[in-house]
C-alpha cells in the first residue's frame, strides 16, 4: 500500500471533530435573585455541556466572583450576593477558555486529569496536554 492509499484510508477513518466544534455552545446563565442570594437556575445544564465536575466549576465561580456558593437539592448554584448575568457569563467564558477549550487545536473535546500534583487539560482530538 503506497502513501496516497494510506492517507486516503486514514482520512476516511478519522472522526468528524469539526462538527463537534460547531455544536459547542455554552448555555447563557439564567439567574434569579432571592434576597441576598443569586440562584443560578441552569447550573446543571452548564455542567452537562462542559462535562466537568460540579465542585470544580462551583469553586471557580466562587473564586472569581469573590463569594460563597453551594449547590442546592435541585442542582442549582446558590451564590451569596447579587450578580448580573453579564458578570457570571464573563466568569463562565473564562472557565471555558482555561479548563475546556484546547489551547492547541481550539476544540472542546478535552478532559481534566491530575498527574504528580498538577492539573492537566488533555485533548481527545489532537492529543495535546497542557497544565492549567
Say which residue the cell 456558593 belongs to.
69
Beta carbons within 8 Å of 76's beta carbon, 6+ residues apart: 39, 40, 41, 43, 44
- What angle do helix axes 85-99 and 43-50 make, rounded to 10 degrees? 20
Q: Which CATH class is domain 25-100?
A: alpha beta
Tens place of pLDDT for every residue, the chain, 132 residues?
Answer: 788 888 788 777 776 555 444 568 999 999 999 999 999 999 999 999 999 999 999 999 999 999 999 999 999 999 999 999 999 999 999 999 999 999 999 999 999 999 988 999 999 999 999 998
Domain with CATH 3.30.70.3150 in the chain: 25-100
Amino acid at each position: 500500500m503506497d502513501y496516497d492509499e494510506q492517507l486516503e484510508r486514514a482520512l476516511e477513518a478519522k472522526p468528524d471533530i469539526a462538527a463537534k466544534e460547531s455544536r459547542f455552545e455554552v448555555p447563557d446563565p439564567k439567574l434569579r435573585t432571592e434576597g441576598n442570594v443569586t440562584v443560578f437556575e441552569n447550573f446543571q445544564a452548564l455542567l452537562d455541556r462542559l462535562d466537568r465536575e460540579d465542585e470544580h466549576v462551583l469553586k471557580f465561580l466562587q473564586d472569581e466572583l469573590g463569594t460563597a456558593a453551594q449547590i442546592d437539592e435541585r442542582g442549582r448554584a446558590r451564590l451569596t450576593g447579587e450578580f448580573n448575568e453579564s458578570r457570571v457569563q464573563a466568569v463562565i467564558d473564562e472557565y471555558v477558555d482555561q479548563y475546556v477549550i484546547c489551547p492547541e487545536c481550539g476544540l472542546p473535546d478535552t478532559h481534566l486529569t491530575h498527574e504528580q500534583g498538577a492539573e492537566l487539560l488533555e485533548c481527545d482530538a489532537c492529543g495535546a496536554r497542557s497544565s492549567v
